[in-house]
Structure 1
């Protein structure tokens, strides 16, 4: 019988919320502007972020997928925000992604790895 790992820690719920934000951004971009690339990117990156968050809930040392996903989005959307100066959607996603990278980095550095 599998061992119960207990409830998910707040970081993981934050990660699932982040994944939902990214995916819903793609859906909204498609609904408002008919942008298929927004839909595809939102669902792809939202799915990867959700998978990364799930992996974190199973093993707190397994941060790489989530870190790469949020770091990539922070870079891409940060450049879009820098060029357009529009908060929605690029600034919001860049800010949320940067916060996730910082949160993951702090949690990775504060826990000793075996």
Structure 2
């Protein structure tokens, strides 16, 4: 897991989270395989709960990320609209400036 985490882009929390979840699932599979079904049921239950928690957390992060992406798109569109309006006003003022001087 440490090697996988080091290769990931540190600015991508979802990729890091997915890598952690994959490592946890791998550990669960190894526990089940190593003990050949003889693992303590409490350990297995705890690992399964961790996987469920991380899966739920990942799903929430994805939903939050989509909300923020939508917000960014709206802000960019609003910014472009304001910029276009300002350009139009500046152009109109430039057109009126010679008429006001004469």
Task: Provide the TM-score with structure 1 as the length reference.
Answer: 0.38
Task: Provide the TM-score with structure 2 as the length reference.
Answer: 0.42
Which structure has the highest helix share of the two? 2
